[in-house]
Structure 1
Amino acid sequence: MAKVIIVFASMSGNTEELSDAIAEGVKAAGLEPVVKNVMDTEASQLEQYDAIIIGAYTWGDGELPDEMLDYYEAMDGLDLNGKQAAVFGSGDSAYDIFCGAVDTLEQKLKDRGAAIAADSIKVELNPTNEETEQCRALGRRLAELAAASV
């Protein structure tokens, strides 16, 4: 059976809410996702999954949040070739770089060989109903791609 992991960093709960909606989509597609706060997992575990979905809020002017930094750096040694991947996150457009952490994480996944299987989801603070549904659709898509790859 295909394996899907969702790893997230959330300070205010917005990005965690997005990860919950993505997990609902994965479940709707018939798979049981593993959902982990970035503080409770190791980057090396990503190699064990067929689909990888990573989310983070953006800190300051487009930066990764502090709790994501070690995880991000630990991704450097990974081989993610053949993995389906997507990124999501929340941010505040009052800053010059909106959701810059999403772009940074997506590039890292590409650099490690993962195939970006869906457009990134960037949310202004709290998700709207439409954005929540986009997250569910993202989860379904990644689950379907993961299932097709095994």
Structure 2
Amino acid sequence: MIKAHVVFATMTGNNEEVADIVCEALSQAGAEVRETEMSQTAVEDFKQADILVVCAYTYDEGALPEEGLDFFDELSESDLTGKIFGVAGSGDKFYGEYFNKTVDQFDAVFEQAGATRGATKVKIDLEPYEEDVEQLTRFANELLRAAQPKEA
């Protein structure tokens, strides 16, 4: 069974909701799913899954969540070769060019660590609505397809 670990950082609850939607979709598709808050997650535990997902907010003008700085740094020093990753996040379009910059930063650190992008990153404005739920479900299904063992 494919194992997925979804980590979130939230200030308003929106990114926890994003993580919940992704977890539900992964679980319904047959994955074994674990969901944890970023500040309570060790990267070593995170690396035990086949699919790694981060759902995090962007603070102010493009800053990473303060409670996720250590996690981000640990990821940047990790070898995630063979892992499938995806990044999603909720932000506020009010911040213009800084909208959901954390999604881009986590996407880049996963690539730097050698992981394989399994789905296109998802950026949601504020709380997830029906169309966002559909997009996050597609995101989860893309991750699962990417994690399927390749037939010889």
Query: TM-score, normalising length from structure 2?
Result: 0.92
The Cα offsets for residues 1-43 of structure 1, whole Å up to 9 and x where unpaired, read as 2211101101111011111110111012111211111122111
After alignment, is 21-30 or 137-146 more displaced? 137-146
SS at match of 2:47: helix
Name 1:24's counterpart in structure 2. Answer: 24
Cα distance between partner residues in 2 of 1:141 and 1:72? 24
Q: Is the 8 A contact 2:56 2:103 kept in 1?
A: yes
Runs of 4+ aligned residues of structure 1 deviating over 4 Å after TM superposition are none
Q: Is the 8 A contact 1:90 1:124 kept in 2?
A: yes
Q: Is the 8 A contact 1:26 1:143 kept in 2?
A: yes
The one of the two structures with greater contact order (alpha-carbon pairs below 8 A, sep at least 6) is 1
SS at match of 1:33: strand
Cα distance between partner residues in 2 of 1:33 and 1:144? 15
1:1-150 alignment to 2 at 5 Å? 1-95=1-95, 96-148=97-149
Structure 2, unmatched stretches of 5+, are none
- 1:93 shift after superposition: 1.4
- 1:144 shift after superposition: 3.4
Query: TM-score, normalising length from structure 1?
Result: 0.93
Cα distance between partner residues in 1 of 2:16 and 2:137? 13
SS at match of 2:149: helix
* Identical pairs, percent: 34
CA RMSD of aligned residues (A): 1.5
SS at match of 2:98: coil
Structure 1, unmatched stretches of 5+, are none
Cα distance between partner residues in 1 of 2:31 and 2:140? 10
Amino acid at match of 2:5: I
The aligned length equals 150
Cα distance between partner residues in 1 of 2:90 and 2:67? 15
